[in-house]
Structure 1
Amino acid sequence: MSLINVSNLTFAYDGSYDNIFENVSFQLDSDWKLGFTGRNGRGKTTFLNLLLGKYEYSGTISANVSFEYFPFQVQNKGAMTLDVIEEVYPEYLHWQLVRELNLLKVSEDILYRPFDSLSNGEQTKVMLAALFLKDNRFLLIDEPTNHLDIHARKLVSNYLRSKSGFILVSHDRSFLDNSVDHILSINKNNIEIQRGNFSAWWENKQRQDQFELASNEKLIKDIKRLSDSAKRTGGWSHEVERTKNGTRNSGSKVDKGYIGHKAAKMMKRSKNIEQRHQSAIQEKSKLLKNIESAERLQIHQLDFHKKELVELEHVSIAYGSNTVCKDVSFTVEKGDRIALYGKNGSGKSSILKLICDEDIPYTGHFRKDPQLKISYVSQDTSDLGGQLSDYAVTQGIDESLFKSILRKLDFSRLQLEKDISTYSAGQKKKVLVAKSLSEQAHLHIWDEPLNFVDVISRMQIEDLLLEYSPTLLFVEHDSEFCANIATRIIEL
C-alpha cells in the first residue's frame, strides 16, 4: 500500500480564464478500486492527464507508484496482438498473460491475430490484461465501457472487481457499483472522496442535497436579514456626518468637532458590524455550494396518423460476404420504447440506419410511411465543430430552445459561446441529444446516446422519457437505463 498525495493543485488550460482545479488537496490509497464521477466538463480526464504529467500545474502530486493510462496508444495496429502487448510490457510472462485473458473469457488464439482485426471489445480486454500484468502500477482507466456490449460490460466489471489499484472513469451505474469500493467525485465547488460504491455515494449525495434544499429558504431569509442589517449600520455614520453642516434643532448651532468625532466612532463600529455581517453572509452562502441543477427536460413529439410507424419482416443485412444480421422481424408502434440488444457487430446500428433511409444493403421487407419524420442521434460526434448558433441554423432547429436544453444539461453560458470542437466527448454527445429534443419528429432513433454522458444527465434523460413517453427506438449498453426505459427488447 502507498499513498497518492495531491496538495494545493491548481490548473487552467492556456488561454483560459477559468481554473479547472483551484487549491485542491486530497489523498488516495493505491490499493483502492476508485470510481471517478462528475458532470461532463468538470475535469475528470484532465486530472488523469495531470497524474500522467502531461500538463504543467501549480501545487504538488506525489506518489510511490507509476501511472498507466487506459486505453494506451497502439502505434502499429496491423501488428500481431502478441507484439502489441510486448511493446507495452516487454517483461511479461506468457502464462500470466494467458491467465488474465482466461479471466476475461478471451481465447489465447487472439494473440496471434492482427490487433486491428479484433473487435473493439476484444481490444479493450487485451489492453486491460496487458496493463494489469505490471507491478507497482496504478491504472487510470478512462471510459472502458463505450465499446462494450451489455454482456461484455458485466464480464469486464467482474474482472475489475477482482483487481485493485485503479481509478475508473465510467458513467454506467451498474458497472461502477460492481467494480469499485471508493468514489472520487468532482462536485460543483469541491472534490470529495467516500467509501463505498456509486449507489452508496449517490444516496449520500441525495440526502445531503435534500438537507441543503430544506435549509435553503431559511438561509435566504438569514442572508437577506444580514444584508439589510449591514446596509443600516453602513448608513449610521453617514447620517451623523450629514448633520455636521446643518442644524440639529431649530436655532441651535452644531458642534462640528463633536459631530466629526462621533461620526468617526460610528463609522468604525458600523464597519466592524458590516464586516461580521458580510462574513456571515459568505459562510451561509457556502452551505448551498454543491447542489447540482438537474432541471426537467421536455419533448413535444408529433402525433402520427397511424398506429404502426415501422415494420421489418425477415430483414437481413450483409456487406459483401459478411452477413451482420439475419431474419430480423419487428414493428415499431406509437408509444413503444424499444431497446435493440445484441453483441457488437450484430447489426444494431445498421438496422437503425436502414430505418433512417441510409443506403444499407438488405433483403426482406421494410415498410415505413413516407410522411414519417425521424430524429436520429448517431454514435459518431467526430464531425461536430463551429458555433452552436451556426449548428442550430444548419440543423433547422430553434436556437433558443436548443441552447435552453443544453443549459439544463449543465452547460454554462460561457460554454455556449465556445467552439463545439473544444467540447469534451460527453458534451458533444449532449449536443446531439439536445438537437434531437429540439426537432419536430414522430419517432426518435438514438444509437448509443449516453456514451460519455454523465450520470446526472442520464437520469434527466430517463425522467424525460418516462414523463412524456415518446416513441423511441434505441441502442444503449447502460443496463440500468434500458431496464428503466424500455417497454420492449428486441435481441439480434
Structure 2
Amino acid sequence: MSLINVTNLTFAYEGSYDNIFENVSFQIDTDWKLGFTGRNGRGKTTFLNILLGRYEYTGTISANVTFEYFPYEVQEQENFTIDIIREISPNSADWEIIKELSLLDIDDDVLYRQFYTLSKGEQNKVLIAAMFLKENSFLLIDEPTNHLDAEAREKLSNYLRKKKGFILISHDRSFLDNCIDHILSINKADIEIQKGNFSTWWENKERQDSFEIAENEKLKKDISRLSKSARRTSNWSDEVEKSKKGTTNSGSKLDKGYVGHKAAKMMKRSKSIENRQQAAIEEKSKLLKNIESSDGLKISQLAYHKNELVELKNVSIFYGKTMVCKDVGFNIEQGDRIALKGKNGTGKSSIIKLICGEDINYTGTFRKVSELRISYVSQDTSHLKGNLTDYAFDNNIDESIFKATLRKLDFSRIQFEKDMSSFSGGQKKKVLIAKSLCEKAHLHIWDEPLNFIDIISRMQIEELLLEYSPTMLFVEHDSEFCKNVATKFYEL
C-alpha cells in the first residue's frame, strides 16, 4: 500500500481563462478500487492525463507507482496477441498470462491470433489483463464499457471486482456498483472522495442536496426578515438622531444626553442586525455550490394516423454473401420504447440502418408507413465540427431551443463559442441527442446514445422518456437505463 498525494493542483488549457482545477488537494490509496465520476467536460480524462505527465500544471503530485492508461493504443495490430501482451508486460510468464485471461473467460487460443481479428470486447479485455500483469502499476481505466455489449460488461466488471489499484471512469451505474469501493467525484465547486460504490455516493449526495436546499430556503426567509428589521431599526435610529435638535410634543426641551444615548443604542442594535444579516448571506453563499443543474428536458413527437409504424417479418440482412442477422421479426407501434438487444456483431445497427432508409440487402418482409419522419442518433460523432449556430441552421432546428436543451445538459455558455471538434466525447453525444429532441418526428431511433454521457444526464434522459413516452427504437448496453425505460425488448 502507498499513497498518491495531490497538493494544490491547478491546471488550465493553454489559451483558456478558465481553470479546470484550482488548488485541489486529496489523497488516493493505491489499493483502492476507485470509481471516478462527474459531468461531461469537468476534467476526468484531463486529470488522468495530468497523472500520466502529459500536461504541465502547478502544485505537486507524488506517487510511488507507474501509471498505465487504458485504452492502450496498439500500433501493430497485425502482430499476434501474445506479442502485444509481452510489449505491455515483458516480465510475465506464460502461465500468468493464461491465468489472467481465464479470469476474463478468454480462451488462450487468442494468443496466437492476429490482434485485429479479435472482437472489440476481446481486445479490451486482453489489454486490461496485460496491464494488470505489469508490476507496480496503477491503472487509469477510461470508459472501458463503450461499445461493449451487456455480457461483455458483466464479465469485465466481475474481473475488476477481484482486482485493486485502479481509477475507473465509467457512466454505467450497475458496472460501477459491482466493482468499486471508493468514489472520486468532480463536483461543481470541489473534488471529494467517499468510501462506497456509486449508489451509496448518490444517496449521500441526494441527502446533502436536500439538506442544503432546505437550509437555503430557511436562510432566504431569515435574510428577508433581517433585512426588514435592519431597515426598521435604521429608521428608528435616524428618527432619534433627528430628534436631538427638536423638542418634545409638550414643547419642553429634550434631554440631549438621554436622546444621544438612546440613538447610540439604536445604532449599535442596527449594526448588530446588519452584521447578522451579512453573516447569513455569507453562510448562504456556501450552499448550493454542488447542486447539479438537471432541469427537465422536453421532446415534441409527431402523432401518426396509424398505430403500427414499422413491420419486420423473417428479415435477414446480408453484406455481400455474409449474413449478419437472420429471421428478425418485430413491429413498432406508437408508444413503444423498444430496446434492441444482442451481442456485438449480431446486426443491431444493420436493422436500424434498414429502418432509417439506407440501401441494405435483405430478404423477408419489411414495411414502414408512408412519409414516416425519423430522428436518428448515430454511434459516430466524428463528423461534428464547426459552431452550434451553423449546426442548428443546417439541420433546420430552432437554435434557441437547441441551445437551451444543451444548457439543461450542463453545457456552459462558453461552450457555445467553441468549435464542436474540441468537445469531449460526452459533449458531442449530447449535441446529437439535443438535435434529436428538437426534431419533429414520428419515431426516434437512437444507436448507443449514452456512450460517454455522464450519469446525471442519463437520469435526465430517463425522466424525459418516462414523462413524454415517445415512440422509440434504441440500442443501449446500460442495463439500468434499459430496465427503467424500455417497454419491450427484442433480442437478436
Relative to the length of structure 2, the TM-score reads: 0.91
Q: Closer, same or farther in 2 for the Cα pair 1:226/1:56, shift >3 Å? A: farther
1:365 is paired with a residue whose SS is strand
Distance (Å, rounded) in 1 between the aligned partners of 2:19 and 2:195:
27
1:145 is paired with a residue whose SS is coil
| Residue in 1 that maps onto 2:383 | 383
2:28 is aligned with 1:40:
no
2:408 is aligned with 1:404:
no
| Residue in 2 that maps onto 1:126 | 126
Q: Deviations over 1:255-275 (max 9, x none)?
A: xxxxxxxxxxx9999999867
Report 1:225-304 matches (<5 A): 278=278, 280-304=280-304
Distance (Å, rounded) in 2 between the aligned partners of 1:232 and 1:34:
55
| Residue in 1 that maps onto 2:315 | 315
Q: Number of residues paired by the alignment?
A: 485
Q: Deviations over 1:348-393 (max 9, x none)?
A: 0110011001122212121112211000000000010111110001
| Residue in 2 that maps onto 1:357 | 357
Distance (Å, rounded) in 1 between the aligned partners of 2:230 and 2:267:
12
Distance (Å, rounded) in 2 between the aligned partners of 1:414 and 1:133:
43
| Residue in 1 that maps onto 2:70 | 70
Mean Cα deviation higher: 361-370 or 64-73: 361-370
* Mapped contact 2:157–2:175 kept (Cα < 8 A): yes
Residue 35 of structure 1 and its aligned partner are, at CA, apart by: 0.6
Residue 282 of structure 1 and its aligned partner are, at CA, apart by: 2.4
Mean Cα deviation higher: 76-85 or 185-194: 76-85
1:295 is paired with a residue whose SS is coil
Residue 324 of structure 1 and its aligned partner are, at CA, apart by: 1.2
1:102 is paired with a residue whose SS is helix
Residue 222 of structure 1 and its aligned partner are, at CA, apart by: 3.3
Q: Closer, same or farther in 2 for the Cα pair 1:224/1:136, shift >3 Å? A: farther
| Residue in 2 that maps onto 1:107 | 107
Report 1:413-424 matches (<5 A): 413-424=413-424
Relative to the length of structure 1, the TM-score reads: 0.91
Distance (Å, rounded) in 2 between the aligned partners of 1:404 and 1:329:
39
Mean Cα deviation higher: 65-74 or 226-235: 226-235
| Residue in 2 that maps onto 1:480 | 480
1:427 is paired with a residue whose SS is helix
Residue 278 of structure 1 and its aligned partner are, at CA, apart by: 4.2
Distance (Å, rounded) in 2 between the aligned partners of 1:339 and 1:354:
16
2:57 is aligned with 1:57:
yes
Distance (Å, rounded) in 2 between the aligned partners of 1:337 and 1:73:
37
Q: Deviations over 1:446-491 (max 9, x none)?
A: 0001001011110111011111111100000000100111111111
Given residue 21 of structure 2, which amino acid in structure 1 is its aligned partner? F
Q: Closer, same or farther in 2 for the Cα pair 1:88/1:341, shift >3 Å? A: same
| Residue in 1 that maps onto 2:257 | none
| Residue in 2 that maps onto 1:260 | none
* Mapped contact 2:71–2:141 kept (Cα < 8 A): yes
Q: Closer, same or farther in 2 for the Cα pair 1:267/1:416, shift >3 Å? A: farther
Q: Deviations over 1:382-407 (max 9, x none)?
A: 01011111000111111111111111
1:147 is paired with a residue whose SS is coil
* Mapped contact 1:227–1:281 kept (Cα < 8 A): no
Report 1:326-337 matches (<5 A): 326-337=326-337
| Residue in 2 that maps onto 1:5 | 5
Residue 322 of structure 1 and its aligned partner are, at CA, apart by: 2.4
2:92 is paired with a residue whose SS is coil
| Residue in 2 that maps onto 1:148 | 148
Q: Deviations over 1:318-346 (max 9, x none)?
A: 21232211111111111111001111011
Q: Closer, same or farther in 2 for the Cα pair 1:234/1:358, shift >3 Å? A: farther
Distance (Å, rounded) in 1 between the aligned partners of 2:382 and 2:271:
57
Distance (Å, rounded) in 2 between the aligned partners of 1:15 and 1:235:
52
Report 1:12-23 matches (<5 A): 12-23=12-23
Residue 216 of structure 1 and its aligned partner are, at CA, apart by: 2.1
| Residue in 2 that maps onto 1:471 | 471
Given residue 319 of structure 1, which amino acid in structure 2 is its aligned partner? Y
Distance (Å, rounded) in 2 between the aligned partners of 1:154 and 1:323:
27
Q: Percent identity?
A: 71
| Residue in 1 that maps onto 2:116 | 116
Distance (Å, rounded) in 2 between the aligned partners of 1:382 and 1:329:
32
Stretches of structure 1 that go unaligned for 5 or more consecutive residues are: 250-265
2:428 is paired with a residue whose SS is helix
Q: Deviations over 1:201-237 (max 9, x none)?
A: 1111111111112222112233445667788999999
* Mapped contact 1:223–1:284 kept (Cα < 8 A): no
* Mapped contact 2:226–2:273 kept (Cα < 8 A): no
* Mapped contact 1:227–1:278 kept (Cα < 8 A): no
Distance (Å, rounded) in 1 between the aligned partners of 2:232 and 2:413:
35
- Cα RMSD after superposing both structures: 2.9
| Residue in 2 that maps onto 1:173 | 173
Residue 284 of structure 1 and its aligned partner are, at CA, apart by: 2.1
Q: Closer, same or farther in 2 for the Cα pair 1:61/1:414, shift >3 Å? A: same
* Mapped contact 1:4–1:61 kept (Cα < 8 A): yes
* Mapped contact 2:149–2:343 kept (Cα < 8 A): yes
Stretches of structure 2 that go unaligned for 5 or more consecutive residues are: 248-265
| Residue in 2 that maps onto 1:252 | none
Q: Deviations over 1:276-318 (max 9, x none)?
A: 7545422321122111111111111100111110111111112
Given residue 423 of structure 1, which amino acid in structure 2 is its aligned partner? F
Distance (Å, rounded) in 2 between the aligned partners of 1:98 and 1:397:
54
Distance (Å, rounded) in 1 between the aligned partners of 2:33 and 2:9:
22
Distance (Å, rounded) in 2 between the aligned partners of 1:75 and 1:348:
29
Q: Deviations over 1:106-150 (max 9, x none)?
A: 111111112112111011001111001012111000000002100
Distance (Å, rounded) in 1 between the aligned partners of 2:132 and 2:477:
25
| Residue in 2 that maps onto 1:257 | none
| Residue in 1 that maps onto 2:260 | none
Distance (Å, rounded) in 1 between the aligned partners of 2:221 and 2:188:
23
Residue 417 of structure 1 and its aligned partner are, at CA, apart by: 2.1
Residue 93 of structure 1 and its aligned partner are, at CA, apart by: 1.4
Distance (Å, rounded) in 2 between the aligned partners of 1:161 and 1:228:
58
2:331 is paired with a residue whose SS is strand
Distance (Å, rounded) in 1 between the aligned partners of 2:120 and 2:268:
70
* Mapped contact 2:318–2:324 kept (Cα < 8 A): yes
| Residue in 1 that maps onto 2:214 | 214
* Mapped contact 2:9–2:23 kept (Cα < 8 A): yes
Given residue 307 of structure 2, which amino acid in structure 1 is its aligned partner? K
